Every structure is written in C-alpha cells, then in structure tokens.
Structure 1
C-alpha cells in the first residue's frame, strides 16, 4: 500500500529545527511525500546548540528548509514562539500569504527537559508554567489559529499533536510534563469532536523513548533500564514517529480522529 492524498498539500511543523529530532524527520518526511512545508523554531543561537550541530554547521530551521527544497518542495522557515498568541497569529498570516492555505498541522514544539523533573512538593511555579505553556498552551494556540483557517476554508484538514506515553503512565517526578501531555490528549479529543463536521481530523501521537538529542544526558545504566522496559527491545527512531504522522495525514488515515496513539515499541499497552 502506498499513502496517498499528501501531494501538493501545505503543512506546518512546529519545533522542527534540531538536527536529531522528531520534528525534522516529520518535516522532511512530509516533503518527501509531496508536501510544501513550513518549519518553525525558536531561532536558537549557536551557543545553545549541541556540539554535533555546531560541528556539522547546522543552521536550525534553515537547514531543515534546505533539505525540503532539495526534495523539490517549497519550504518556509519561520522563527516563532508557540506560547505567544500574537506570534502564532502572525505565523498564520505569513503562511496564508505565502501558500494560500494550510492542510496539515503537526504540533511538535515542546519544552526541553529541565528543572521540572522533581517531586511536586519541590516543584517551583516557574518550571511548571514553562512546561505547561509550551507543551499544552502552545498546542492550544496553534491548533486554534490553524483550525479556524481549516474550518473557514471548508476543505478539511489534519492536525497531529505530539503527546507522550508519559501522559498515560503518569510517572513520579514528572508532574508538569505528564500533566501537559495528558492535557494534549484531552485537547485533541475535545477538538476532534468539534471540528469533525468540517472534515478536520485531530489526533495525538504518544511516543515512548525515542533516540533524539533530548535523551543525550541519560546515564548508561538508566538507558539500559529504559530499553529493558520496551517489549520490542529497542528505542524508537524519529522515522518511527514520522511514519505514524504520515499515515494519519494521508487518505488512508481519513477515518481516524480523536485518538491518542502510542508509538512506543509496546511500552504502554491497553490504553
């Protein structure tokens, strides 16, 4: 089976600037399937990039845009903050001015691992707010703005929100992250029922452990324990997540909406 319905579509992928990331793989995968792609990021300066990106001369969303153009598709890199309502509105105006429409939105932007990974009784409000604002409020703001465009245009659309198995497992020492990702699942389910009549589909993906820059600091023993918890015996790759996104956005995924799918090697089963 070949996926269909992606040719000449216009897609937005937020949080797509890192070299070893899910967002980059999704953006390039959509381009390979025939989409023109808008890639957003926060415009990280060189001193905030990991050593391998610096060594490779990686230029964040500009490098991803170059990869998309090399596939023969149009690309638009946009520095944007998903937590800023005005910036999100400006992003929507820019995309419409450049491409005329939006068919696909992938809300991939996420807060980096930081001081939020601690027990609730020791969690400061600033850390809580930082995670919730990026992961949940950011997803809400972009979904609301682009969802309006899709509904008003009247030709349907597809929104994929990046959640996490943490939003189902609800592990200790991760209350802010788990709450934000569980919230993304709730947002997804509610919105899917509201916009389904306009043929706009809204789904969430819940990745498990995926080998990206986010896991660079995991100690060897912790990494071994993480792998041991996965029935398929390996961590995921960004391509594993991108493949699920492509299916959900294709004609073959046209009867799937309101779902929160685990893509995790079997780490979480049954819900």
Structure 2
C-alpha cells in the first residue's frame, strides 16, 4: 500500500535561495510544486557573469528558470529578487507574496552564504566574513521567520516553517566556525520557535543535509570528495538535492502534522545519534 502525502494542494510556499541550477533550493521549489503548491522562489539577483560554466551553457536565468519549471508542472510561480538578510527585504517579500497570492502556508528558509573565505581558522577569520555568513544564514532565517510567522499567526490556519540547516551545525568542524555557528543557531532558533508557535498550529522544523550534490561541492576535487565520503558516510555516496527536497515536502505535509521542533539529519548516516 502506497502512502500519499496530503495537505499541499493549492498551498502557497515560499522558498528562499532557489535560483541556482544545482541547488537544494531549486529542488525544493520543484518538488513542492509537484506536490501541489504554488511557489515563490527568491534569489539574490546574481549577474550572469557570476554564473558557473554549466549554468551559462544551459542558458540558465536564475529564479526565472526555476519559475518556468514550477509553471511546467501546472502551478503558479512568483520569482523575486530580494535580500532576506535585511528587515526590509523580508518585509518586501511578504508584501509581494500577499499581493500575488493573498496568503502563505509554507516557508522554507534555504538561503545561505556560499563557501569561501570563511573556511579558515577562527584566528584568521575576518570580521566582515563572519558577519556576512551569520547575516545570511542565521539573521535571514530569523527575519523571514519573524515576518512570515506573524502572517501565519494572523491567518489563524496553522502552517509550516522549515529551516535548511546542516549537519555542520552539529559537527562543528575545524575551519568552519562561522558556518557551523550559524547553522547551530538555526537549529536553536527552530526549537524556540516551535515552542512559541505550536499553540497556533504552526510547525517549525529544520532539515540538516550532509554532503549533497550541489554547486557547493565545486571547491573540492571529485577525488577529495570521494575520499571524504568513503571515510565518513555509511551509505557510501553523496546525497542528491531531490532527496533533501523530499524530506522538506514530507515535513510540510499533513503526514508530518505531529512533528515540530526537530532538526533532522539527511546525510547518508554520517551522524546517527544527534
């Protein structure tokens, strides 16, 4: 007997950080559309010169391309360029969503700072780099949750907020202090919000991906990643963005109606006890 996920048809979902071709955000937006949601997808408005080679070759158009995929599944789409790390950006996004759809049901806080200059020891970490990672990963999640949480309370019909964290927030490895601290903060924020919003039938959960096949793996060679996977992942392979997205869709569905305040690892078994 198959289990059908319910409760997502004609719901309005917002997915931040959904403009990259090889990304969790894109997969989440598409899978929510496949489950029946109309989807708002946000991006930072990257200039095409900053696109990686595979996006350039594909004629990729950031959030507009993802919106096309959502519409191809028969759902409505709204691509928005905004900075969710600012109060103005989060509020302007909420205004745009309500103007287009009149309501919101599911919020997926996926926007995150790219790997880069933050991957150094704390003693060598620039304050500006630290501030940027915390601003996008943690402050942005807070600002989005505050703005859209208020709207969900006002609507009085429940809802779901799903924060994309990382097992990095639990591993707290060397040379990842800013990223790990930001993602641990997202998990703590998730727990507090779940306790605050539960009486409004608003569920708040986090998904913690491990090594996932997205553009974020481009800073290591395939051989280096293969060695890491062999040493650390019991299932012996990198995960896919679609596998992470499937977990998000489940958590947004009626079948997860009694799940809140959790930070689920989706990581091939790298972490098994937390």
Q: Following superposition of structure 1 onto structure 2, how do residues 170-185 of structure 1 map, counting pairs within 5 Å?
A: 170-185=172-187
1:81 aligned partner? 83
User: Match of 1:139, SS?
Assistant: helix
Distance 2:53 2:175 in 1: 28
Distance 1:185 1:87 in 2: 22
TM-score for both structures, normalised by structure 1: 0.99
1:241 aligned partner? 244
Distance 1:185 1:225 in 2: 28
Distance 1:249 1:115 in 2: 34
2:217 aligned partner? 215
Q: Following superposition of structure 1 onto structure 2, how do residues 94-133 of structure 1 map, counting pairs within 5 Å?
A: 94-133=96-135
C-alpha displacement of 1:220: 3.5
Distance 2:169 2:233 in 1: 17
Distance 1:221 1:119 in 2: 24
Q: Do structure 1's residue 255 and structure 2's residue 258 form an aligned pair? A: yes
Distance 1:20 1:123 in 2: 28
2:192 aligned partner? 190
Distance 1:26 1:221 in 2: 28
Distance 2:98 2:184 in 1: 31
Give ranges in structure 2 of 5+ residues lacking alignment.
none
TM-score for both structures, normalised by structure 2: 0.98
1:28 aligned partner? 30
Q: Which runs of 4+ in 1 moved over 4 A?
A: none
Distance 1:29 1:192 in 2: 24
Distance 1:205 1:54 in 2: 30
User: Match of 1:257, SS?
Assistant: coil
C-alpha displacement of 1:138: 0.4
Distance 1:225 1:132 in 2: 29
Distance 2:70 2:223 in 1: 37
1:226 aligned partner? 228
Distance 1:121 1:180 in 2: 18
